[in-house]
Structure 1
Amino acid sequence: MSTLVPTFLPPRLGTSFRWLLASSWTTNLGDGIAAAAGPLIVASLTADPILISMAALLSWAPPLVFGLYAGVLSDRHDRRRIVLVANALRLVVLTTLVALLAAGQLTVAGALIGLGLIATAEVFADNTTSTLTPMLVHRDDLVVANARLQTGFITLNQLAGPPIGAVLFAAGRVWPLVTEMVLVMAGMLLVSRVLLPPHGRSAAQPAVTSARHEIAEGVRWVIRHPAVRTLCLTILIFNLTFGAAWSVLVLYASEQLGLGAIGFGLITTVGAVGGMVGTACYGWLTARISLGNLMRIGLTIETLVHLGLALTTSPWVALPIFFVFGAHAFVWGTTSTTVRQRAVPSHLQGRVGSVNTICVYGGLVIGSAFGGVLATHYGIAAPFWVAFAGSVVFLILLWPQLTRIAHQDH
């Protein structure tokens, strides 16, 4: 044990990063619990499919609506304070929901409003938290630091959190929310120990400009920077194809693979386990393969995943594919974050990160709508075939840029 911690968290990353990592892991567990508990609470209040689907809608709408402004705030003000205030607002909403549930007074509208407010606070907390790592660790250590953060996201948010949330919900509707309250408070206490260097404008720059001007500044920087521009376009386009295919994953699991009601949960679990393997192998991979080539390999894997899933009707073939995709998703996520953080100046981290977020969620939303239309008219496999074809075209167009993207970071 005495050698395990320094190996996993090298001392050069610093004490403040350890506090940040502990806070991130703690809040990720709470977010994973909430991901399962939120829809379950709404479903316990109504059987209307449209209202139940609103719980899912409210998980991705706030980043699209508030993401750019969250980036402006994180580049204007004390970033640690923003994280603390956003999480304090989450606590207020969670406390209100717990009180209403305990009194039997929570309505469907109240639950949806509460979930929307929590998701909105998370936009500001998450955007700002993503700017802290490059402030705390040397750029050469960003690969290691981001891999450690992603480990917590996969194991706690995706793998452990949802089943814990479901179990707590079965014990009583308030318990998932109470648990999340405790974890949010713990995360606030941990992040309050982080010591940040100064960031933001120089003394020669005006203290405050309009939010629109600052958003435009971040967008222009992305457009003018070849590596980050390519990275954002890649995320946007590949999330269009990913969203088209994954939007019908529940139906794919039951109708094409014949896995029944447990299929979707099994796919999610297998993908998360793949992510854990990607976590374990990431240091070995980055020591032997450049970040640019990792991105090439990853997008090739994603393209072939769509093809494999379009072709197969066997769970024994599909589940290993989902396992490989889970490993790829971790490696891609860590690599793209590292490339972006290395390239972006500190005072622009929030705004450029918010542009990246818009590309992520914009691609998913548009792709999901397209996938639903394809599946309705041409069958469950159609979105996977279209995702494969689209990925092939874009991969060919992007291929020459990917080996250079990780080096254009100044």
Structure 2
Amino acid sequence: MFRKLWAATAASNLSDGVSLAAAPLLAATITRDPALIAGITVAQRAPWLVLAFVSGALADRLDRRKVAQSANWIRAAAFAALTAAVLSGALSMPLLYVVFFAIGTAETLYDSVSAAWVPMLVGPEELTRANSRLQTTWVVCNEFAGPPIGGFLFAAAASAPFLLGTAGYLAAVALLALIPPAARRQDEPEGGPLTVRNVREDIVTGARWYWSSPVLRALSLVAAAGNAAVAASYGLLVLLAQDELGVSDEGYGVMLAASAVGAVLGGMTAGRVGGRFRPGTLILVTNLLSAAATAGLGLAVSPAVTVALMALDGFVVLVVSVHMVTLRQQIVPNELMGRVTSVYRVVAVGSFAVGGIAGGAVARAFGVQASFYAAGAAIAVAALAVLPVLSNARLAEVKRRAEAAAGPAEEAAPVS
């Protein structure tokens, strides 16, 4: 059953990756205002800050297969409408914002469901391997295959990338239909009412569980620090590459590819790497390596060194991401997984905006290289700050208690 979810995720991720290149190109045919074009990304990210809690509650209250299918139906309809607008000459920036807000809304649904669904489809011993496959697939489709395909198709016809995207989302719907219906939330009676009050209570329950778990809060802090560091540093990488290293546009593309190559290798070997380290040690070591690599980029020693550091950073970030997702799935009751994951993701995704603003301010005041030093320092400080909570002994106890826990989620105490 997991293979069907994996294939559906690959199909939808490829559609996402195609749009990464095609959407800005399409917007550039309407306006040359960089702020308006950047607004597409804002529109797609915004649902994580305003709708993620509701999506998490729905992921736990409703049949997860149907929610995942609905998310892909929304994305397919949005891309179909965009395709029709391109073909009819009715394209506009407001329409692009609406389409990508809908895409982002569907992502909050699908990602919340996927995180909660994986532990239901594979055994505990297979969680790391399953998450490795999903994370690697995301990198391949969103960073390797999708953008080049999107650029090539757009050059052939502006509507072509979005036609392919529509087909990819529909294929995901069909693949998900092959998975047997998902179990309902354990404490929800069959056919229980879906009301505003019930959803609100569900959200409060998930937020309370998240806040009562020091381990989960520590994991989200590490993830937030890493994401903020990415926004603060990698968002300015083009300036570092051109102004400090003197690389060409082609060389800049190679730099980006190096990070993706490292990430793919990290996803493919995450299980083996995890077998050599205990969880607390793995989280600490990988984050310190990421901190060193990020700060090292600021030195701008040479293009070759920069490529090596980006590959290293991509590798360790994917390794730790896989194991942090697995750890979260191991300690959170499955019937609460959607809600708790939504809170977790709001913290992590929200940090992108904070990091981007902070990175720009540091670069303006002290130079572009300083933003890389500050980003590396932030990752290291966060990893060291949570060390007492994410110690090997603490995590082993948390996992033991999670395995022994029984009873409805609302009555179960957090396992940390």
Displacement of 1:380:
0.5
The answer (yes or no) to whether the contact 1:256–1:380 under 8 Å persists in 2 is: no
Q: Which runs of 5+ in 1 are unaligned?
A: 1-15
Unaligned runs of 5+ residues in structure 2 are: 403-416
Cα drift, residue 201 of structure 1 = 4.0
The residue identity in structure 1 corresponding to 2:373 is W
Could you tell me which residue of structure 2 aligns to residue 78 of structure 1?
63
1:400 aligned partner: 388
Task: Answer yes or no: is the 8 Å Cα contact 1:312–1:318 preserved in 2.
Answer: yes
Matches of residues 16-95 of structure 1 in structure 2 within 5 Å?
16-95=1-80
Number of the residue aligned with 2:411: none
Kindly provide the amino acid, as one letter, of the partner of residue 350 in structure 1.
G
Q: Report the Cα offset of residue 111 of structure 1.
A: 2.0
Deviation at 1:137, TM superposition (A): 1.1
- Contact 1:38–1:115 (CA<8 Å) still a contact in 2? no
Residue 385 of structure 1 is aligned with which of 360, 373, 378?
373
TM-score, structure 1 normalization: 0.91
Asked whether 1:167 is paired with 2:152, we answer yes
Aligned to 1:262: 250
Distance in 1 between the 2:83 and 2:346 partners? 32
Shift of 1:313: 3.8
Q: Which amino acid aligns with 2:347?
A: C
The answer to whether the Cα contact below 8 Å between 1:39 and 1:56 also exists between their aligned partners in 2 is no
Conserved? CA contact 1:270–1:323, under 8 Å? yes
Distance 1:264 1:213, change over 3 A: farther
Cα deviation per residue 1:168-203 (whole Å; 9 max; x = unaligned)?
A: 111110000000111111111001111244231426
Q: 1:137 to 1:234 in 2, by over 3 A?
A: same
Moved more, 322-331 or 251-260: 251-260
- Residues 122 and 264 of structure 1, relative CA distance in 2, 3 Å threshold: farther
The CA deviation string for residues 233-285 of structure 1, in whole angstroms up to 9 with x for no partner, is 22123333332222322222222222233354322211111112113322321
State which of 154, 162, 182 in structure 2 corresponds to 1:177: 162
CA–CA distance in structure 1, aligned partners of residues 377 and 2 of structure 2: 42
User: Deviation of residue 287 (structure 1)?
Assistant: 2.3
Amino acid at match of 1:64: L
Residues 80 and 203 (structure 1 numbering): CA distance in 2 closer, same or farther, change over 3 Å? closer
1:128 aligns with 2:116: no
For 1:300, give the aligned amino acid: L
Q: Which residue number corresponds to residue 145 of structure 1?
A: 130
Q: In the superposition, relative to structure 1, how do residues 101 and 207 fare at CA in structure 2: closer, same or farther (>3 Å)? A: closer
Task: Flag the 1:247–1:198 CA change in 2: closer, same or farther, 3 A.
Answer: same
Residue 21 of structure 1: how far off its partner (Å): 1.0
1:324 counterpart (297, 312, 316): 312
**2:29 aligns to what SS in structure 1?**
helix
Letter in 2 for 1:118: I
1:248: which partner in 2? 236
Alignment-mate amino acid for residue 311 of structure 1 = L
Question: What SS does the corresponding residue of 1:375 show, helix, strand or coil?
Answer: helix
**Which position in structure 2 is the counterpart of 1:7?**
none
SS at match of 1:119: helix
2:106 and 2:214 mapped to 1: Cα distance? 32
**2:63 counterpart letter in structure 1:** D
Deviating more after overlay: 383-392 vs 21-30: 383-392
CA separation in 1, counterparts of 2:287 and 2:37?
34
Tell me, in whole angstroms, the C-alpha distance in 2 between the residues paired with 1:374 and 1:220.
35
Distance 1:203 1:269 in 2: 46
**Partner of residue 339 from structure 1, selected from 313, 327, 347:** 327
Task: Report the Cα distance in structure 2 between the residues aligned to 1:382 and 1:152, rounded to whole angstroms.
Answer: 33
1:308 corresponds to which letter in structure 2?
Answer: G
Q: Secondary structure at the match of 1:130?
A: helix
Give the equivalent residue in structure 2 for 1:376. 364
Change (3 A) 1:96 1:394: closer
> Identity over aligned residues, as a percent?
32
Task: Indicate how the Cα distance of structure 1 residues 38 and 52 shifts in structure 2: closer, same or farther if over 3 A, else same.
Answer: same
Query: Is contact 1:22-1:187 (8 Å) kept?
Result: yes
* Structure 1 counterpart of 2:200, from 212, 215, 219: 212
One-letter amino acid of the counterpart of residue 36, structure 1 = A
- Matches of 1:109 and 1:61, distance apart in 2: 15
TM-score (norm 2): 0.90
Shift of 1:390: 2.6
Q: Whole-Å Cα distance in 1 between the matches of residues 188 and 94 of structure 2? A: 47
1:188 is matched with which residue?
Answer: 173
Q: Which stretch has the larger CA shift, 344-353 or 382-391?
A: 382-391
Give the whole-Å Cα distance in 1 for the aligned partners of 2:111 and 2:82.
Answer: 22
What's the counterpart of residue 8 of structure 1? Answer: none
Please give the residue correspondences for 1:293-308 in structure 2 after superposition, counting only pairs within 5 Å: 293-308=281-296
1:314 to 283, 289, 302: 302
1:229 to 217, 236, 249: 217
**C-alpha distance in 1, partners of 2:101/2:240?**
29
- The answer on whether the counterparts of 1:136 and 1:196 sit within 8 Å (CA) in structure 2 is no
- C-alpha distance in 1 between matches for 2:122 and 2:108: 23
CA offsets 1:86-134 (integer angstroms, 9 cap, x no match): 2112222211111111111212222222222222222212221221101
Q: 2:64·2:182 contact (CA, 8 Å) conserved in 1?
A: no
SS in 1 for 2:166: helix
- Which deviates more, 131-140 or 235-244? 235-244
Report the alpha carbon displacement of residue 149 of structure 1 after superposing the two structures with TM. 1.2
Letter in 1 for 2:27: V
What is the rounded CA distance, in whole Å, between the counterparts of 1:116 and 1:203 in structure 2?
30
